[in-house]
Amino acid sequence: MTDVVTVTEPRPGVAQITMADQENKNTFTGDLLAGLGRAFAQVQADERYKAVILTGYGSFFCSGGTREVLLDIHAGESTFQAKDEGTPNAYSLPLECPIPVISAMQGHAIGGGLSMGLFADFVILSRESIYTANFMKYGFTPGFGSTRVFPAKLGLALAQEFLLTGRTFRGAELAERGVPYPVRPRKDVLAAALELAESLAEKPRRSLVLLKEHLVRELREQLPAVIEQELAMHEVTFHQPEVKELLLSRYGA
């Protein structure tokens, strides 16, 4: 593992993948992306594991794309897809993982970071943290599979509010809005994830793998076409002059 992504075994049969790039606030840097790919590959290859917890550090879960990468996309030099064929896309790693994944989103989850968290099988949110699909804040349409996973996991009405407005929600507000996931004080998120993971680890791995495959088959099958549509929208929306201006003036604000 890279220093910014580690794999531990907090309970028998439970893997914990922790993102802790404190210098970059868990944005999708090359180190974080590579570390996530290796971490999920390690977990998938070890048949002792029956459940995965994906979490961050302190007040950050995952902050999505870096400004440099977003500016590269604006310039037509990159996309949000992995550059090398056969390299996994970090945002969909929880979906592709054969065993159940719990996103313990103890901290802020922004843009593609929130999308990645929602691709998990279980989600636990923090009352104090902020959650935002802020793509439209910068003038470009959403990516990272957001246009499919948000409606699937949050319901159409809340997904539309997230995606069209780009507004920021506190976990406590999402709880009041009836988000279909537990919302806990930040200090309790990981403990709740561990309790859930322990209950999953009591089951046979093969049964968990088969049932997850059945439950997520439709989303897995639909995702490639959704990504193509999102990339097509980016060809129209990402290269507008105001997008660069907004990225330079608003990014991180």
CA-nearest of 34, 35, 29, 33 to 69 is 29
Residue 170: helix, strand or coil by DSSP? strand
Answer left, alpha or beta for residue 252, where phi above 0 means left and psi between -120 and 50 means alpha. Answer: left
CA 225/CA 1 separation, integer angstroms: 32
Distance CA 159, CA 154 (A): 6
Within 10 Å of residue 181's Cβ, how many Cβ atoms? Answer: 18
The catalytic position among 74, 108, 234, 239 is: 234
CB 7 within 8 A of CB 16: yes
Picking from 31, 37, 29, the residue whose alpha carbon sits closest to that of residue 17 is 37
* 214 a catalytic residue: no
- The residues annotated with a catalytic role in the active site are 234
